Amino acid sequence: MLPKLITTLLFCVYAHTLSAQTIAVNQVGFYPSGPKKAIIKDGKPGNFYLIRLPHNDTVFSGKLQGPFVNKYSPHATYLADFSRVNTKGTYRLSANGDTSYAFSIRSSPHNAAAMAAMKGYYLQRASMPLGPTYAGKWQRKAGHPDNHVLIHPSAASPSRPAGTVISSTGGWYDAGDYNKYIVNSGITMGTLLSLYEDFPAYCNKINLNIPESRNQLPDLLDECLYNLRWMLTMQDPADGGVYHKLTNASFDGMVMPHEATKPRYVVQKGTAATLDFAAVTAQAARVYSPFNKKLADSCRTAAIKAWEWAQQHPNVLYKQDDMNKQYQPPVVTGAYGDNMMNDEVGWAAAELYVTTGDEQYRPFIKLLPAQYWPLPSWSQVQLLAYYTLSRKGKLKQEVNPGIIAFADKLLAGSDSTTYQTVMGKQAGDYVWGSSAVAANQGIALLQAYRITRKPIYLDAAISNLDYLMGRNATGYCFLTGFGAKRVMHPHHRVSVADKITGPVPGLLSGGPNPGMQDKCTTYTSKVPDEAFTDDDCSYASNEIAINWNAPLVYLLWAVEALAK
Ligand code: 9MR
Ligand code: 9MR
Q: Tell me: do 317 and 425 sit in the same domain.
A: yes
Please state the atom number of ligand 2 nearest to the C-alpha of residue 548.
Answer: 1
Contacts of 313 (CB under 8 A, 6+ apart): 241, 269, 271, 274
CB contact at 8 A, 471 and 39: yes
**First-to-last C-alpha distance (Å) of the chain:** 39
Q: Look at residues 72, 88, 105 and tell me which one is the last residue of a structural domain.
A: 105
Per the domain annotation, does 410 fall within a domain? yes
Contact (Cβ atoms closer than 8 angstroms) between residue 95 and residue 78: yes
Q: Distance (Å, rounded) from C-alpha 408 to C-alpha 326?
A: 48
Distance 316 CA to ligand 2 centre (A): 20
Tell whether ligand 2 has an atom less than 6 A from the beta carbon of residue 511: no
| 3-state SS, one letter per residue, for 132-145 | HHHHHHHCECCCCC
Residue 505 CB coordination number (10 Å):
21
**pLDDT for the residue numbered 8:** 47
Contact status, residue 266 vs residue 296, Cβ threshold 8 Å: no
Active site residue: 338, 466, 529, 543, which one? 543
| Rounded distance between C-alpha atoms, residue 248 and residue 493, angstroms | 15
Same domain, 371 and 253: yes
In a domain, 535, yes or no: no
The pLDDT score that the predictor gives to residue 523 is 98
Q: Are residues 40 and 142 in the same domain?
A: no
- For residue 177 and ligand 1, the question of a CB distance below 6 A is answered with yes
Residue 329 CA to residue 488 CA, distance in Å, equals: 35
Instruction: Please tell me the residue having the least CA distance from ligand 1 atom 1.
Output: 177
Q: Which of 252, 338, 498, 534 is catalytic?
A: 534
Q: 121 CB under 6 A from ligand 1?
A: no
Same domain? 163 vs 90: no
Provide the residue-wise pLDDT of the chain in tens; the chain has 564 residues: 345 444 444 444 444 455 678 999 999 999 999 999 999 999 999 999 999 999 999 999 999 999 999 999 999 999 999 999 999 999 999 999 999 999 999 999 999 999 999 999 999 999 999 999 999 999 999 999 999 999 999 999 999 999 999 999 999 999 999 999 999 999 999 999 999 999 999 999 999 999 999 999 999 999 999 999 999 999 999 999 999 999 999 999 999 999 999 999 999 999 999 999 999 999 999 999 999 999 999 999 999 999 999 999 999 999 999 999 999 999 999 999 999 999 999 999 999 999 999 999 999 999 999 889 999 999 999 999 999 999 999 999 999 999 999 999 999 999 999 999 999 999 999 999 999 999 999 999 999 999 999 999 999 999 999 999 999 999 999 999 999 999 999 999 999 999 999 999 999 999 999 999 999 999 999 999 999 999 999 999 999 999 999 999 999 999 999 998
For residues 84 and 192, state if they share a domain: no
Catalytic, out of 491, 518, 529, 536: 491
Ligand 1 centre from 177 Cα, in Å? 8
Query: What is the count of structural domains for the chain?
Result: 2
| Distance, CA of 152 to CA of 159 (rounded, Å) | 13
Q: What separation in angstroms does the CA of 130 have from each of 321, 361, 432, 505, 553? A: 36, 41, 30, 14, 21
- Whether 509 is covered by a domain: the verdict is no
Strand partners, 50: 60, 93
Coil, helix or strand at residue 149: strand
Protein residue closest via CA to atom 2 of ligand 2: 432
Q: Considering the domain boundaries, does residue 332 fall inside one?
A: yes
Note whether residue 514 is domain-resident.
no
Output the CA 378–ligand 2 centroid distance in Å. Answer: 9
Considering 46, 79, 105, which residue would you say is the last residue of a domain?
Answer: 105
Q: Is the CB of 265 under 6 A from ligand 1?
A: no
Nearest CA to ligand 1 atom 7: 539
Q: Whose CA is nearest to atom 3 of ligand 2?
A: 432
Last residue of a domain, one of 70, 105, 140: 105
Does any domain span residue 495?
no
Cα(177) to ligand 2 centroid in Å equals: 10
Which residues are registered as beta bridge partners of 41?
A: 77
Q: What is the DSSP string of 235-265?
A: B-TTT--BBSEEE-SS---S--GGG-----E
Annotated catalytic residue within 174, 177, 338, 518: 177
Ligand whose nearest atom lies closest to the CA of 320 = 2
Does the residue 73 lie in any domain? Answer: yes
Shared domain for 211 and 304, answered yes or no, is yes
177 is catalytic: yes
Point out the ligand nearest to the CA of residue 176. Answer: 1
CA-based torsion, 465, 470, 476, 481: positive or negative = positive
Q: What is the CA(334)–ligand 2 centre distance, in A?
A: 6
**366 in the same domain as 313:** yes
What ligand 2 atom has the least distance to the C-alpha of 433?
A: 1
- Residue 499 burial (CB count, 10 A): 6
Question: Is the same domain home to 213 and 279?
Answer: yes
pLDDT confidence of residue 20? 74
Q: Are residues 193 and 71 in the same domain?
A: no
Round to whole Å and give the CA distance between 68 and 418: 5
Chain Cα centroid distance, residue 479: 10
Is 0.95 topped by the overall pTM? yes
Longest dimension (CA), the chain: 88
Annotation marks residue 313 as catalytic: no
The domain in which residue 416 lies consists of 111-475+543-563
Cα distance between residue 465 and residue 463, in whole Å: 5
Closest to 538 measured CA to CA, from 495, 506, 491: 491
Q: Are residues 162 and 309 in the same domain?
A: yes
For residue 9, give every residue at least 6 positions away whose Cβ sits within 8 Å of its Cβ, in sequence order, or none: none
Could you tell me if 201 and 285 lie in one domain? yes
Domain holding 403: CATH number?
1.50.10.10
Q: Phi first, then psi: what are they for 278, rounded to 5°?
A: -60, -40
Cβ-Cβ contacts under 8 Å for 520 (sequence gap 6 or more): 533, 535, 537, 538, 540, 541
Q: How far is Cα 503 from Cα 480, in angstroms, rounded to an integer? A: 7
CA distances to 15, 168, 427, 521, 524 from 527, rounded to whole Å, are: 30, 43, 9, 15, 9
- CATH number of the domain at 62, please: 2.60.40.10
User: Which ligand is closest in space to the CA of residue 183?
Assistant: 2
Burial of 16 (0-12, 13-18, 19+ CB in 10 A): exposed
Residues 6+ apart with CB under 8 A from 136: none
Rounded Cα–Cα distance for residues 429 and 421 (Å)? 12
The answer to whether residues 308 and 224 touch, using CB atoms and an 8 Å cutoff, is no
Q: Ligand 2 within 6 A of 545 CB?
A: yes
DSSP letter at 340 equals -
294 part of a folded domain: yes
Residue 543 alpha carbon to ligand 2 centre in Å:
9
Residue 75 designated active-site:
no
Confidence at residue 514, expressed as pLDDT on a 0 to 100 scale: 98
Q: How far apart are CA 351 and CA 214, in angstroms?
A: 30
Exposure string of 351-361, with b = 16+ CB inside 10 Å and e = fewer, is bbbbbbeeeeb
Over the Cα atoms of the chain, what is R_g?
A: 24
List the beta strands (DSSP E) in 421-531: none
Task: Let me know whether 336 and 436 are in one domain.
Answer: yes
Helix (H, G, I), strand (E, B) or coil at 537: coil
DSSP β-bridge partners for residue 37: 81
Of residues 264, 165, 182, 188, the one with CA closest to residue 231:
182
